[in-house]
Each structure stands twice: as C-alpha cells, then as structure tokens.
Amino acid sequence: MTGRQFIARVRRWARGRELEVRFVASEGPGSHGTLYAGGRKTTVKDRRKEIGRGLLGKMLADLGIDPNDL
C-alpha cells in the first residue's frame, strides 16, 4: 500500500465514524506529512512509496485503527 492509498483508506474508515480527517503536507520533514483523524495523528512518508508492514502497523496504532478495519 502506498501513502496515498493509506490516506484514502483512512478517510473511508473515518467517514463511517463521522471523524474529521485531514492531511497536512507542510507538517513533516521532506516528503513526509501529518495525517489527522479525529483527535489522533500520524506521520505519512512519501505518498508515492510503499509503506512497509511494520510502519503500517505503527501508523494504524497511532490512529487507533484496528488493521482488520481497513
């Protein structure tokens, strides 16, 4: 899954829970940005690159999302 796909899936997940989601590209070093979902946030690396399994798990944990929900 790429960073762009991750953001899209989080948006879809949040829509069903009526949570606000926003991605701020300027809040992160280099090509990274910050994804906010409800009151939680995580850093998303370059949106064009693949996200590794370990990093994906950490990002989901940061946002409080069960991996089976995406």
Residue 45, in any domain of the structure: yes
Output the pTM of the full model. 0.91
15-65 per-position pLDDT tens digit: 989 999 999 999 988 889 999 999 999 999 989 999 999 999 999 999 999
Residue 21, in any domain of the structure: yes
Residue 69, in any domain of the structure: no
Give the strand order in the sheet containing 21-24. Answer: 21-24, 33-37, 40-44
Residue 70, in any domain of the structure: no
Residue 29, in any domain of the structure: yes
User: Which residues constitute the domain of residue 60?
Assistant: 3-64
Residue 23, in any domain of the structure: yes
Instruction: Say which residues have a Cβ less than 8 Å from residue 54's Cβ, sequence separation at least 6.
Output: none
Number of domains in the chain: 1
Residue 47, in any domain of the structure: yes
Q: Which residues pair with 68 in a beta bridge?
A: none
